[in-house]
Homo-oligomer: A and B are copies of this chain.
Amino acid sequence: MNEFDLIRQYFETPSVNRADVPLGIGDDCALVQPKPGFQLAITTDTMVDGIHFDSRLSPADIGHKLLAVNLSDLAAMGAEPCWISLATTLPEVNEHWLAGFSEGLFALAREFDVSLIGGDVTRGALTLSITAQGQVAAGKALTRSGANVGDLIYVSGHLGDAALALNHSQITQLPKDQQQQLEQRLFRPSPRVSLGQALVGYATACIDLSDGLSVDLGHLLKRSGKGASLMLDQVPTSSIARNLLGHEQAAKLAFSGGDDYELCFTVPAHHQEAIETISTDAETPVTLIGQVTSDSGLKLRFNDVPVNWKSQGFMHFYDQDQ
């Protein structure tokens, strides 16, 4: 089997057949058929060996996470995920790696009915990039810029476990099953696709949490021209993190850590009940953590006491999305 055949075996067999892909892998371009009245949401995320993942991640974890971080961006726009293109730069053709990577990638692709329509395979330092496309009704996408004064601020799931797991030495004292629970949050994030789509028509602004709540909520507020008042004791954390660190340190990590891939969104107060129903239907917990204010900047309180927790967000040039 030559190298072409090997690559073909892992990537060219369609794992998901969508009716809106008249031509998939194997020509100069793929062809896809968008839905009338919809816009395309398009995002690109790259992962580099040693920067975005370390040797603890299996090839399947890497495949999962690469797709998950892209789907998380589509979720933040309220878009339905549809098609992905994969740029894979590999130091060598390693069948074990290809098998694991494609298994992790395609398992998540099947879960969300996403079709791999093309890409490129090149030789070089391990660098993996996906451009993902979703569809959302024209004019209905959630953006970062629509938050209004008085809107309630929510986050999905719980925050901080991925940041805790990032530094392995922090969690070595925990029982094995708790270590694994935390590492799953870092290695295998769950993109909040159903929640994002359900928020269309309710949320006024939305962002996914990749660089940490403090940084990403900052982006949303800056684009909206607003500020926020946050009750940091309300930021949802896991019982593992609270037991290990205590409530306040767990909340600090939840505020400043990255890699959560949860959604942070703003909602007019009169939609509070609707959000609870949406959360139940999407099987994704959401928690009210604060309110949008007219003053720029963040007003932080923990147990009703003002605090001044500095952002420790992930501010490197190599993690600047979009």
Contacts and interface: CB of A to CB of B under 8 A. Distances in A.
B122 A125 contact: no
Interface residues of A, number: 78
Nearest to A12: B322
B316 A3 contact: yes
Interface in A294-319: 315-319
A136 to B, nearest CB: 8
A119 B322 contact: yes
Contacts of A320: 3-4, 7, 120-121
Interface in A95-144: 117-125, 127, 129, 131, 133-134, 136, 138-139, 141, 143-144
Given A29-B43, A41-B31, A134-B29, A318 B23 contact: no
A322 B123 contact: no
A26 B120 contact: no
A274 interface: no
Contact of A123 (B4, B48, B120): B48
Interface stretch (A32-40, A167-175, A177-185, A225-233): A32-40
Contacts of A133: 42
A46 interface: yes
A83 B43 CA distance: 12
A268 B63 CA distance: 45
Interface in A212-241: 223
A87 B28 CA distance: 20
Contact of A42 (B85, B122, B143, B206): B85
Given A4-B320, A28-B322, A32-B39, 6 more contacts: A28-B43, A29-B76, A29-B134, A31-B136, A51-B122, A123-B318
